[in-house]
Amino acid sequence: MYVLDVAAPSGGDPAAVVDALRDRFADEGAVAVVRRDPTLGDADGAHTTVRLGGGRRRTTADSRASLTAVLDDLARDHDFALTVGFADAALPRLAVGDASVADPLARVTEAATLDPDSVLAALRETEPHESLSSLVAAAKRSADERFAGAIATFTGRVRAQENADDAPTEALSFETYAEVAAARLDDIRAALEAREGVHDVLLHHRTGRIEASEDIVFVVVLAGHRREAFRAVEDGIDRLKDEVPIFKKEVTIDEEFWRHERDA
C-alpha cells in the first residue's frame, strides 16, 4: 500500500486536494483517507475514512489507534492511503500552498493546479507500506493457496534493551541500496519457492527510522505443510540478514552509531 501525507499551511484544509487525489487513485485500487482528529491535541489517534469503491465509504473513529496501527490494518486490503494532519510522521509528503515541508515528494499551489497523474507516478517510486497482516493476506491470495496447509511467519522488531543494564534503544535507522536489495530479495524468494512444498514467499524490510518496539522485517511462507514452512522462514530471514545490503544505525539514550562499524 502506497501512503502519501498531504500537508497544508497552518490553519488550512487540503480537502479539495485530498478529494482529487482520492478520486484519481480510486481508478487504480482501493483508497483510504486517514485524518488526525484535531480534538486529540498531542495524543496519538486518527479518524479513518475508507473509500470502498462503488461510491461507498466507511468512517471510523478510535482515539486509541496510532497511525502505524491504522496503516498496518489498512495495508491488508488497500492499495493507497492518504493521510492528513500527521506532520511528524516519516511519510512521502505533498506540500499544498506554502506549507513548510522539507524535501516534499511534490508541491502544488492549489487543487486547481494539481496534476494527480504526476503525483501518482512519483508515489509509485516510494517504498510501499507493508505489515505482517498485509503480507499474510497476500499469501492467502496466492494462486497456489488451495495446496497450502500452513502459513509460517517471522517478525523482527526493534528491541528496546538487550538486558536490564543495557542503555535503552530509542530507535533504529535503516538505509539500503534499493535496486541491489530488491534483486537480492528476489533471488532469495526464488530459491525458497523452488523447494518442494513451498508455494509462496514474501519478504519485506522497512527502511528509515523505526522506533523501539516497532516492527522492522517480515518473512511469510505459504507451504503445503508446517515443516517446509518453518524451514523456509528460518532460512529466509537468515539469508536476508546475510545477503541483503541493509545498513543499521542504532540510536540509544547515550549515543548513535552504525552497527556495521561497531562490529567491524
| CATH architecture of structural domain 132-263 | Alpha-Beta Complex (3.90)
Q: Where are the domains of the chain?
A: 2-123, 132-263
Q: pLDDT digits over 238-256, tens only?
A: 999 999 999 998 888 877 7
Residue 22 has a pLDDT of 93
CA dihedral angle for residue 79, residue 62, residue 95, residue 116, rounded to 10 degrees = 30
With contact defined as beta carbons under 8 Å apart, do 217 and 240 qualify? yes
Instruction: Say how far apart CA 201 and CA 190 lie, in whole Å.
Output: 8
Q: What is the band of 165 on the pLDDT scale with cuts at 50, 70, 90?
A: confident
Output b/e per residue, 232-263; b: 16+ Cβ within 10 A. bbebbbebbeeebebebbbbbeeeeeeeeeee
Helix (H, G, I), strand (E, B) or coil at 3: strand
Q: pLDDT digits over 24-82, tens only?
A: 999 999 998 888 866 555 555 555 555 555 555 555 555 556 788 889 989 999 999 99
Phi and psi angles of residue 57, each rounded to the nearest 5 degrees, phi first: -140, 155
Residue 44 has a pLDDT of 54
Instruction: Say how far apart CA 206 and CA 223 lie, in whole Å.
Output: 24
Phi and psi angles of residue 171, each rounded to the nearest 5 degrees, phi first: -165, 165
Instruction: Say how far apart CA 99 and CA 117 lie, in whole Å.
Output: 21
Q: pLDDT digits over 217-233, tens only?
A: 999 999 999 999 999 99
Amino acid at the residue 86: F
CA dihedral angle for residue 14, residue 17, residue 18, residue 22, rounded to 10 degrees = 180
pTM of the model: 0.83
Beta-sheet strand order (sheet of 46-53):
56-62, 46-53, 31-35, 80-84, 2-7, 93-96, 106-108
Closest CA to 251 of 209, 216, 214, 205: 209
C-alpha cell at 264: 567491524
Q: pLDDT digits over 120-137, tens only?
A: 999 999 999 999 999 999
Check whether domain 2-123 has CATH 3.30.70.580, yes or no:
no
Q: What is the band of 108 on the pLDDT scale with cuts at 50, 70, 90?
A: very high
